[in-house]
A and B are shown apart, each in its own frame.
Chain A
Amino acid sequence: MITLDRIIAVIILLWVFVYTVSYGKWTWRRRNRLGAVMVILLALAAFVLPILSIFYRQG
């Protein structure tokens, strides 16, 4: 079910995701490929994990 608190949570998560990915992109441009990949993976984890627990967590 879509509620106001969930919408706010998703907006915050999206903002953090974009912010972190942009840091990853900046790191990539500095030729730190591994660092950039890890930052983007971190951004993905910090986006996907809360989404899963918000929408699919039992109880």
Chain B
Amino acid sequence: MMSEKKIVFGTWEVVAVLITMISTKCIMYFPRTMAEDSGTAGWIEALFISVMAFIVFVLISRLYSPFEGKDLIDIGEYIGGSAGRIITGLILLAFLLFLVPLVFREFGEQMKALGFVNTPISFILFFFASGMIVAAYFGLEAIVRFQSIAVTVIVICYVIYILLLWPRYDITQLTPVLGTGIKDIFGRGFFRLSEYAELLLLFMIMPFIKTGRNFRTAGYVAIGLNAFFLLTVTLANLLAISYPTTVENTIPVYVLGRLIVYGRFFQRIESLFVTTWSLVGLMYLSTGFYFILHIFKKVFRLEYTRPLIWPFIILIFNLSLFPSNIKRTIELEVNYFRNWAWIVAFALPILILFVARAERAKREKRNTEGTR
């Protein structure tokens, strides 16, 4: 396996990872959540969230400019030495150890609901866990390069899927235009910035991107494409299924697939959805899992990630079984994590970068005074 320090990722590879990490929610709860929040104006909320994410990213990328090639843990160390590295790393680790088990359970439960109603949840989760273990053994390079190919295919399938629904779209279903009101769109939308929380991984991939230019390009392209997916899926859901019926669908995209009917032979396309859906799930979980290992290794200066695979997969497996059912799992993610994750995903990097810039200015001033 190539040493991590020698691995360099191109812009598309990073974008593909961010599409997997952010847009996975399109096929899970996202269209329903938008409709629940703002009614028929869910699409405006999706757009608003993306615009906010873009603005926050512009701010972060400007602050990041003197720290090319450094991830958040390196910057934490720059500010506070070992203590700074450990505190930053532990916060990031806690963030991922909350998110990954929840998504892991959600995928398992949804798989159970889609086709394995009588199978125990632990048995279904075992297969996802096996995929995560194999991916972690292959390492970050294999995970990212695989996604750069798979995401291209999935994106094409997604666009076809949305276009096939065209006859079902009814523009009048978007009225009233402001849905449940401006307060809901922008008030709730503000906290939903956390839907872009996985953008945090971009700040962890930084050492593999090398240049600041690639970092910014990857960020802008990723936010643009994710905005397109989040907006189109919300729009398709609202246009094809009238509000408030749409809020009753646990997996809206699956229900949308059932609406695609072209003659006697081209129908029930949702069966194809299950295959794509499990592939996306596996890519999401593999990436999240690998970053847990990577952060733990980096924070505690360990030499290998492989011996950490088994204890962490057992931990994630068990943490994922803590919520009593699918309802509680989604509630924990949507009502708690997705309302507050922006603090770790955006406020923390901004704070760290502000302090690091101040520290840098102080050191430069000290150096200039020393040379006089």
Say whether, besides A16-B310, A53-B321, A45 and B315 are in contact (CB < 8 Å). yes
Say whether, besides A49-B318, A50-B318, A53-B321, A32 and B311 are in contact (CB < 8 Å). no
Cβ contact within 8 Å between A19 and B300: no
- B354 vs chain A, min Cβ distance (A): 28
B292-320 CB mask vs A (1 if < 8 Å, else 0) is: 00001000111110011011101101110
- A28 vs chain B, min Cβ distance (A): 12
CB-nearest residue of chain A relative to B315? A46
Cβ contact within 8 Å between B301 and A46: no
A16 to B312, CA, bound (A): 10
* SS of A interface (majority): helix
Cβ contact within 8 Å between B307 and A49: no
CB-nearest residue of chain B relative to A23? B307
Specify which chain A residues have a CB less than 8 angstroms from the CB of B319 in the assembled complex: 49
Specify which chain B residues have a CB less than 8 angstroms from the CB of A50 in the assembled complex: 314, 317-318
- B221 vs chain A, min Cβ distance (A): 36
Cβ contact within 8 Å between B300 and A32: yes
Of the four ranges (under 10, 10 to 19, 20 to 34, 35 or more), the interface on chain B belongs to 10 to 19
Among A46, A53, A59, contact of B310 (Cβ-Cβ < 8 Å)? A46
- B318 vs chain A, min Cβ distance (A): 5
Specify which chain B residues have a CB less than 8 angstroms from the CB of A45 in the assembled complex: 311, 315
Cβ contact within 8 Å between A39 and B315: no
- A51 vs chain B, min Cβ distance (A): 10
Say whether, besides A46-B315, A49-B315, A53-B321, A19 and B301 are in contact (CB < 8 Å). no
- B130 vs chain A, min Cβ distance (A): 13
Residues in chain A within 8 A of chain B (CB atoms) = 13, 16, 19-20, 23, 27, 30, 32, 34-35, 38-39, 42-43, 45-46, 49-50, 53, 59
Give 10 A-B contacts (CB < 8 Å), ordered by A residue.
Answer: A16-B314, A23-B304, A23-B308, A35-B300, A35-B301, A35-B302, A42-B296, A42-B312, A42-B315, A53-B318
Residues in chain B within 8 A of chain A (CB atoms) = 86, 296, 300-304, 307-308, 310-312, 314-315, 317-319, 321, 324
